[in-house]
Chain A
Amino acid sequence: MSISRRGFLGAAAGLSALALAGRSALETQPREPEPGGGTPAAGTRWALVIDPRKCLEAGDCTKCVDVCHTVHNVPAIAEPAHSVKWIWKEPFERTFPSLQTDYPPDDLRDKPVMVLCNHCDNPPCVRVCPTQATWRRDDGIVMMDWHRCIGCRYCMAACPYGSRSFNWKDPRPSLVQTTPDFPTRSKGVVEKCTLCEERLAKGQPLACVAACPAKALVFGNLADPASEVRSLLRSRFTIRRKPELGTRPAIYYIV
């Protein structure tokens, strides 16, 4: 059988038309309606105001860390290269390397400060994540979907605060205690603080905030001018970590 040039072109055109029709048919398939499709609370911007001095008054207290890491099944791995942390203490100078003075307050100099994910308004971790396993919710929480994380660690490279940890090995054997209501993670997944979004959904306070005996952590809604966080921001002098980077953290520190 022989085929003419004209015949071949005709057939090819017909086939491509068919392929295109098939594709558009796929694209216009109606999506199933989402059951119970939730609307994020409008006019909410969750934030924390941390008072390091109140924390220092409590001495060597690690209650917020202990509670957070227990309820979220964060493994306790001593080896620094493998350690996983959601909230921890960092020396003042390391927390605020771009402080505009060489003479920070004497009572804070070299002292530990509680640090955690800043839930940035302009989060570089979200911008680089290739799978949208990390994204910013409308209420400001920089959320993670561990089902989607492929462990590429772009976010860890992008975060200027070291807020993220990678599971180099199965975290389960390193759990001090397992909370069944919360998943563990698996090897090859990045994790960080999610601002207790699972507790907020139930109307419960943040685990760290509730655990702090010194009330050094105050949680609230920045979008509400009458909130406790806004009143603290009005009455006290606060700073954020590395403001020059433009990430716009939602964690404020009273200095």
Chain B
Amino acid sequence: MRDRAVIIVALACFLVVLSTPVWYARAAGVTAKAPELKRPATEKACVMPVAYMRASHMDLLMTWRDDVVRRNARTWVSPDGKTFTKSLTGTCLRCHANKAEFCDRCHAYSNVTPYCWDCHVDPALIQRSGP
């Protein structure tokens, strides 16, 4: 029983070390709360239902990409019968004009770096920085 004090101290140290991530995240202000996204002010409906877009917009974009580039098929009919031009900058970014506070914010939160933007241009960025 002489070791009781040592054991308690070691156990306390162990618990502190074990919970470091929690304290660290607290201190750094990291939160599990989903980011605040800037939704389009004008449009209410997207090219597909919101739940689908949230989970699978990347699949849709891949399909659009292949349709436009490889099949020269550029018109999209949404489930509610509306037609759209399959275009990232022309259609997606026309409503989601604030890429920084919509696309980027969520991509940063989920720690993904899509390379779409290596080539595709954010029109807002051009307008701001001039030609």
Residues of A within 8 A of B (CB): 34-38, 40, 73, 135, 137, 143, 145-147, 177-186, 197, 201
| A197 with B122, Cβ < 8 A, contacts A147-B65, A180-B89, A181-B89 known | no
Q: Chain A at the B interface: mostly helix, strand, loop or mixed?
A: loop
Please tell me if the beta carbons of B67 and A35 are within 8 angstroms of each other in the complex: yes
- B75, CB-defined interface residue at 8 Å: yes
* A245 to B10 CA separation, bound complex (whole angstroms): 82
What are 21 A-B pairs at a CB distance below 8 A? A34-B67, A34-B73, A35-B67, A35-B73, A35-B76, A36-B75, A40-B72, A147-B65, A147-B69, A177-B131, A178-B131, A179-B121, A180-B122, A180-B126, A181-B89, A181-B90, A183-B120, A183-B121, A184-B119, A184-B121, A186-B115
Does the CB pair B119–A37 fall under 8 Å?
no
Expressed in whole angstroms, the Cα–Cα distance for A135 and B63 within the complex equals 19
| Interface membership of chain B positions 67-92, coded 1 if the CB is closer than 8 angstroms to chain A and 0 otherwise | 10111111111000000001001100
Tally of chain B residues near chain A (CB < 8 A): 24
CA–CA, A177 and B126, complex, Å: 9
Determine if B35 is an interface residue (Cβ-Cβ < 8 Å). Answer: no
- B49 interface residue (CB < 8 Å to A): no
Q: Are B131 and A38 in contact (CB under 8 A)?
A: no
Cα of A181 to Cα of B94 in the assembled complex, Å:
11
Contact A36 B73 (CB under 8 A): yes
10 smallest CB-CB distances across A and B, nearest first, come from A38-B73, A180-B123, A183-B119, A177-B131, A186-B118, A180-B121, A36-B73, A38-B71, A145-B69, A38-B72
A201 touches B76 (CB 8 A): no
Residues of B within 8 A of A34 (CB): 63, 67, 71, 73
In the docked arrangement, what's the CA distance between A34 and B72, Å? 12
CB of B121 within 8 A of CB of A37, answer: no
* Complex Cα gap A137–B70 (Å): 9
The one of A177, A179, A185 that contacts B119, using a Cβ cutoff of 8 Å: A185
Which of A36, A40, A183, A186 is most buried by chain B, counting CB atoms within 10 A of its CB? A36
**Residue-wise interface mask of B (102-131) relative to A, using a CB-CB cutoff of 8 A (1 in contact, 0 not):** 000000000000010011111100100001
Q: Which residue of chain A has the shortest Cβ distance to B73 in the bound complex? A: A38
**Cβ–Cβ < 8 Å partners of A181 in chain B:** 89-90
Chain B's closest residue to A176 (CB) is B131
Q: How far is the CA of A15 from the CA of B67 in the complex (A)?
A: 40
- A186 near B119: Cβ-Cβ < 8 Å: yes
For B90, list chain A residues within 8 Å (CB).
Answer: 181
* Cβ distance B46 to chain A, nearest Cβ, rounded Å: 15
Contact of A145 among B70, B74, B77, B89 (CB under 8 A): B70
Q: Judging by beta carbons under 8 Å apart, are A36 and B119 in contact?
A: no
